[in-house]
Amino acid sequence: MIILIFLLLFTITCESSPNPTIFEDINRHQEEYVQRLKEWVAIESDSSDPLKREEVIRMMHLAAERLKELNATVELVELGSQKLYGHDVPLPPVILAGIEKDPKKPTVCFYGHLDVQPAKFEDGWSTQPYNLTEKDGNLYGRGTSDDKGQVLAVLHAVETLQKHELPVNVKFVFEGMEEVGSNGLFTLVEQRNSTFFSNVDYIVVTDTLWLSNKPGITYGTRGNCYFFVEVQGARKDLHSGSFGGVVHEATGDLIFLLNTLVNSSGHILIPGIYDAVVPPSEKEVEFYKESEFNAAKIKRTFGIRNFTYSAKEEILMRRSCYPSLSIHGIEGAFSASGTKTVIPAKVTGKFSIRLVPNMEPSVVINQVTDYLKEKFAERKSPNHISIKCVIQAKPWLSDIDGPLYLAGKKAIKKVFNTEPEMFRIGGTIPIGSHFQEVTGKSAMFLGIGGPDDAPHGQNEKLSRYNFIEGTKLYAALLQELVSL
């Protein structure tokens, strides 16, 4: 009797998961996978901070070593340096790697990044951001979800398949400057289009999250134009006692300008900014209506009182299919705790506009610049302004009926026994649109992060479930791709 039940259970397991050996292998190694993620998270590869640039470079070399352990051919492409605040800061190398066994088989190229957003415990983290900490099934740490955990899941999937049979050729493009605009990578893709990319059939980008607890596939991203608007008042900071009331204060001018950008419900006030926006198709509207996106849960997780829209599909579409403008902060004004009675000399407001098809960065830059200059002229201030766009990234939208998407859907069905949710995301991974444009190959965003991972916020996490099942997902995808 006991033997019968055991056999029955075994049969059920086999049916719901057709790669028992590979999946069990992944299950067995999960502590090792978590340990490796801990090692990667411990490296403070914050690409926005010039003082941590060496850490980003160290991270790239560590990933290169990992790839060599998988018998990949690895090239670390040096991209020179960037001018940052008057200093030459070295750019981290880009990893171009490949495991190519059989030219007759298809070749899939994974893209991921190993740099992270800034994180400090004092920002309000519950754990040290660079010390991976597991709590209630979640792995907390900067980069767990965005994007170190997802890159490692790919590598663990490949490693596991190699023990049996790697069904396709695999290539890897890993960079260390994604969070600040992927310096140098765009040109590199163009330069290597006829060499490294010549035999690539499909491009899979890991750098994305699911929309709900149901697995999902991303077929579009928003672009981004990140602006610095600088107001220069006096040449030196002034004492507000000595000069308050008799000088045109730069901070007041900047606050005035920033206040002209967007209204309280998020509508952008820059003339013409919505002109090129193509609304989502009817089919897409259906995707969002059917989604299991749980607005109430997201509200609870992030402590959001109210979204600016109430219907689920409106929230989803507004944050991914329409532009938005966020004011991030001010550099140069007093920003510490406590009090300081200063009139800052030079202040730089930082805001960004997310772009959707068919908005063009060059057009947006002109619209913003003209508008702010016009508004500043109305202010009649003797201070000087300058407006710079420091990140320009195009939006991206893919054809979701191609073979790559079919394989993705089948892989999800295998691992999770469900249909995926299809959606666009509001974030910007400019390399997606660039890969597609330059190589002419189909690109797909298949991530394994959950909807509440907080990739740029405090307490970023990846659940252990998503990390391990996601590893299976990438393994399944590689198996599906061979049959296309």
Which residues in the 174-233 window bind a copy of itself by CB under 8 A?
A: 180-181, 209, 222, 224, 226, 233
Report residue 124 as tokens: 């309000």
459 belongs to the binding site for a copy of itself (CB under 8 A): yes
Active site residue 115: yes
- Closest approach, Cβ 423 to a copy of itself, in A, equals 12
- Closest approach, Cβ 380 to a copy of itself, in A, equals 6
- Closest approach, Cβ 146 to a copy of itself, in A, equals 9
| Helical residues (DSSP H) of 165-217, grouped into ranges | 185-191
Taking CB under 8 A as the binding criterion, the range among 47-55, 92-100, 168-176, 433-441 that sits at the site for a copy of itself is 47-55
Q: Site for a copy of itself (CB under 8 A): which residue of 253, 284, 469, 480?
A: 253
Using CB atoms within 10 Å of the CB of residue 441, give its burial: 0 to 12 exposed, 13 to 18 middle, 19+ buried: middle
Q: Site for a copy of itself (CB under 8 A): which residue of 1, 380, 401, 440?
A: 380
Distances (CA, A) of 461 to 63, 86, 129: 20, 35, 10
Would you say the C-alpha torsion 14, 17, 19, 23 has a positive or negative sign?
Answer: negative
Per-residue x/- marks for a copy of itself, 324-363, CB under 8 A? xxxxxxxx-xxxxxxxxxxxxx----x-x-x---------
Q: Site for a copy of itself (CB under 8 A): which residue of 36, 62, 70, 309?
A: 309
| Measured distance CA(154)–CA(471) in Å, rounded | 6
Nearer to a copy of itself, 228 or 416 (CB): 228
Nearer to a copy of itself, 331 or 370 (CB): 331
Nearer to a copy of itself, 52 or 171 (CB): 52
| Measured distance CA(463)–CA(30) in Å, rounded | 12
Q: Site for a copy of itself (CB under 8 A): which residue of 118, 162, 213, 365?
A: 118
**Residue 205 φ then ψ, to 5°:** -100, 130
The whole-angstrom distance between residue 9's C-alpha and the CA centroid of its chain comes to 40
| Measured distance CA(228)–CA(331) in Å, rounded | 9
Ranges within 143-172 binding a copy of itself (CB under 8 A): none
386 belongs to the binding site for a copy of itself (CB under 8 A): no
**Residue 220 φ then ψ, to 5°:** -160, 150
- Closest approach, Cβ 14 to a copy of itself, in A, equals 38
The whole-angstrom distance between residue 431's C-alpha and the CA centroid of its chain comes to 10
User: Bridge partners of 226?
Assistant: 352, 391
Annotated catalytic residue, options 25, 55, 159, 178: 178
Taking CB under 8 A as the binding criterion, the range among 152-160, 383-391, 398-406, 434-442 that sits at the site for a copy of itself is 383-391
Ranges within 7-46 binding a copy of itself (CB under 8 A): none
394 belongs to the binding site for a copy of itself (CB under 8 A): no
DSSP string, 343-361: E-SEEEEEEEEEE-TT--H
Report residue 193 as tokens: 């289009």
Reference 273, options 351, 390, 381, 380; nearest CA is 351
**Residue 413 φ then ψ, to 5°:** -60, -40
Nearer to a copy of itself, 66 or 312 (CB): 312
Per-residue x/- marks for a copy of itself, 402-441, CB under 8 A? -----------------------xxxx-------------
Ranges within 64-93 binding a copy of itself (CB under 8 A): 84-85
Nearer to a copy of itself, 62 or 276 (CB): 276
| Measured distance CA(200)–CA(307) in Å, rounded | 41
The whole-angstrom distance between residue 71's C-alpha and the CA centroid of its chain comes to 28
- Closest approach, Cβ 302 to a copy of itself, in A, equals 5
Q: Site for a copy of itself (CB under 8 A): which residue of 1, 305, 401, 440?
A: 305
C-beta separation of 128 from 121 below 8 A = yes
Kindly list the catalytic residues.
Answer: 115, 178
